[in-house]
Chains A and B, each alone.
Chain A
Amino acid sequence: MYTISNRLKIFSIILIVLGALGVAVGFMTSHKTLDEVKTMLAEEHSAHGGGHGVASESHDVTSMDHNETTHEAEETNHSESAHTEGTEESAMHTDAMSSTSEEHADDDAHNASGEEHSNLEHSEAGHDEHAAHVQEQMAKRPWSALYVAAFFFMMIALGALAFYAIQIAAQAGWSPLLFRIMEGITAYLLPGAIIVVAIALGSHFIGHHNEIFIWMNEDVVKDDKLIQGKSGWLNITGFTIRAIIFIGGWCLYRHFARKFSIAQDNAEEGDNRNFKKAFRISAGFLVFYIYTESMMAWDWIMSVDPHWFSTLFGWYVFASMVVSAVTVIAMTTMYLKGKGVLPQVNDSHIHDLAKFMFGFSIFWTYLWFSQFMLIWYSNIPEEVTYFVTRINDYKLPFFGMLVMNFIFPLLMLMNSDYKRINWFVIMAGIVILFGHYIDIFNMIMPATVGDRWFIGIPEIGSILLFGGLFLLVVFTALTKAPLVAKRNPFIHESEHFHY
């Protein structure tokens, strides 16, 4: 039996307390009055650079006849390297991906003193509307930060559950030694998933106009034909019922798989009934899982952008989920092996887990790219806005995660020898986990806070809060049963597993 060390317990409690403080600070500083937001915007605008106002005034979005001086002033302001030739520029303006025209329109709207443009956008009403929009985005930030972190840790537990079911259904010979670790990680699923749904609903019911899911806001839906058309699926009752079905199904499987696994420990010699039961429910669960996981991805993530849709989104979320889960399984295994409580686990087990980390990282990249490239290539306005906002406002996290989730694991985990070195796998795992946090961040944040994002106190506080909770729940669950499943028919093969 493993006993949780006091240091780990205190460490996770410190994380929870620090995180809770960070979250509290986030909530206290996020709700600003309209006047405060207006002052802030005015300050930001004045600090935006001297020549900017002149350049954008003479800039007309629709006409193509730029003179060279305006053009150069623009370049210095926006550092758009693509603007070099007049012809190129006109092509860029018609290109939805570059969306410089949108930016300029937006800048002009900020610039209330623009003499040439005297349309409605520049009146005080338009300015108020913009400030109200920014105010809402700022109010949503602590909620979104909380939601991203909560989902990230929930997804690790859910991915570990799917991986566990796959190992049982595939009758894998190498992994039974790690079953108890996977079971321990999945213990976070029930609290984690409930927290995710509670934050999603809480952001609607608590406070004013700060919902993570814009379709929960009746005022918005009232004027939005597209969301009205989807309201058969996107309504709070349906959302709640589906969430209960998802969480219920997953946790039911988790409960019984764990029960059969422990019952198999105490079974008599040759009695494999519990093993067979676990095999059957795992196969059934995998069918249930792949449907509910996809629907969960629509409900809990994709619907933050209710105007946008993507068919492979569920798979994409799944890839992110399972690679994070395998990484956490590997890291927990190495931690426990380092503590000396898992003597039978050898380098070959770590090697196999590292291979899964490597393979699923590439699988994630494949799906990320398939989604991105199809939308980029066809460039249909209703789809492409998703990536336009991400590339314009989230350039570093959007492309940075590609480095962390693809290039880094590709180069680090390709060598067979490196996959057996524990500290090497741990380092690669830390980068992969950060990369997939950024991945979830990129899914949620652009729809809720837009360009008002930052990885600051609310975000880091949320990570610490749920990270601490995750550690506490997982390592407490690990103490509840022996760390090695005793009478599993494959356990001996697993103990002598050698690659």
Chain B
Amino acid sequence: MEDSSKVIHAIYTDDDVLMAAVKKVKAERYHIEEIYTPFPVHGLDKAMGLAPTRIAIASFLYGCVGLTVAIVMMNFIMIKDWPQNIGGKPSFSYIENMPAFVPIMFELTVFFAAHLMVITFYLRSKMWPFKKAENPDVRTTDDHFLMEIAAAHNVDEQFDILRNTGAVEITLIDKAH
């Protein structure tokens, strides 16, 4: 495509209209670059055909890491390094004194799973403090929905389709500036 830097912004004011528009645009086989909404629209990811998230799998693995850290740490400190008799608790082997370690094992599992998952989310969504906001239209954080489509040769035809889906505003944007 010669005009690959050109995109069309179609603005909607209702999430139901937006959903119908997404289905129409998908049916016309135009590529949706991005959709900006002020709140999560249930089912939008399915309509757009986005791949399901794998963050839960990542979180499970982080939890396993946390559990391992807890076990290795306490096995070294309490059993290997200085197996002191503290109030008669058996410190001969890890398993003998394990019930006392379970609260820490649990908490570290949750801690690792939660925090590393959040950090993963930030990295994958490219979010951090002082990041420049990527917002094509300020109204999309309040009450407007914006669909961004790559402009093809037949821009006029694309405009017609989008107008028929109920868009209130359609503009051709040149991103390469």
Contacts and interface: CB of A to CB of B under 8 A. Distances in A.
Given A94-B88, A414-B60, A373 B102 contact: yes
B113 to A, nearest CB: 12
Given A82-B90, A91-B85, A91-B88, 18 more contacts: A82-B92, A82-B93, A82-B96, A84-B92, A88-B92, A91-B90, A92-B90, A94-B88, A95-B90, A369-B99, A369-B102, A372-B99, A373-B99, A373-B100, A376-B99, A377-B100, A379-B88, A414-B60
A94 B88 CA distance: 9
A77 interface: no
Interface string A66-88: 00000000000000001010001
Interface string B77-91: 000000001001010
Nearest to B85: A91
Contacts of A94: 88
A113 interface: no
Interface in A380-431: 414, 416
A91 B83 CA distance: 13
Nearest to A372: B99
Contacts of A92: 90
Contact of A377 (B56, B85, B99): B99
Interface residues of A, number: 16
15 contacts: A82-B90, A82-B93, A82-B96, A84-B92, A88-B92, A91-B85, A91-B90, A92-B90, A95-B90, A97-B90, A369-B99, A372-B99, A373-B100, A373-B102, A377-B99
A369 B99 CA distance: 8
Contacts of B92: 82, 84, 88
B88 A95 contact: yes
The 7 A-B pairs of least Cβ separation, nearest first, read A373-B99, A376-B99, A88-B92, A82-B92, A95-B90, A377-B100, A369-B102
Contacts of A372: 99
Contacts, number: 26
Contacts of A82: 90, 92-93, 96
A91 B85 CA distance: 9
B99 to A, nearest CB: 5
Contacts of A373: 99-100, 102
Contacts of B85: 91
Contacts of A84: 92
Contacts of B102: 369, 373
Contacts of B56: 416
Interface in B82-123: 85, 88, 90, 92-93, 96, 99-100, 102
B155 to A, nearest CB: 38
B175 to A, nearest CB: 37
Contacts of A377: 99-100
Contacts of B100: 373, 377
Nearest to B96: A82
Which of B85, B88, B100, B102 has the most chain A CB atoms inside 10 A of its CB?
B88
A84 B93 CA distance: 11
Nearest to B89: A377
A384 to B, nearest CB: 12
Contacts of B88: 91, 94-95, 379
A414 B60 CA distance: 9
Contacts of A414: 60
Nearest to A81: B93
A379 B87 CA distance: 11
A231 B86 CA distance: 40
A377 B100 CA distance: 7
A82 B91 CA distance: 11
Contacts of A97: 90
A94 B99 CA distance: 19
Contacts of A376: 99
A376 B100 CA distance: 9
A228 to B, nearest CB: 33
A376 B102 CA distance: 13
A349 B56 CA distance: 22
Contacts of B96: 82
A72 to B, nearest CB: 18
A438 B36 CA distance: 54
A34 B132 CA distance: 88
A291 B72 CA distance: 43
Nearest to A379: B88
A376 B88 CA distance: 12
A163 B82 CA distance: 49
B110 to A, nearest CB: 12
A94 B85 CA distance: 13
Nearest to A369: B102
Contacts of A416: 56
A373 B104 CA distance: 13
Interface in B49-64: 56, 60
A95 B88 CA distance: 8
B92 to A, nearest CB: 6
B42 to A, nearest CB: 10
A377 to B, nearest CB: 6
A369 B96 CA distance: 15
B54 to A, nearest CB: 12
A97 B93 CA distance: 15
B64 to A, nearest CB: 11
A84 B85 CA distance: 16
Nearest to A88: B92
Nearest to A373: B99
A379 B60 CA distance: 35
Contacts of A88: 92
B52 to A, nearest CB: 10
A92 B56 CA distance: 44
A397 to B, nearest CB: 18
Interface core residue of B56, B60, B99, B100 (most chain A CB under 10 Å): B99
Nearest to A96: B88
B103 to A, nearest CB: 8
Nearest to A83: B92
A372 B55 CA distance: 34
A416 B93 CA distance: 37
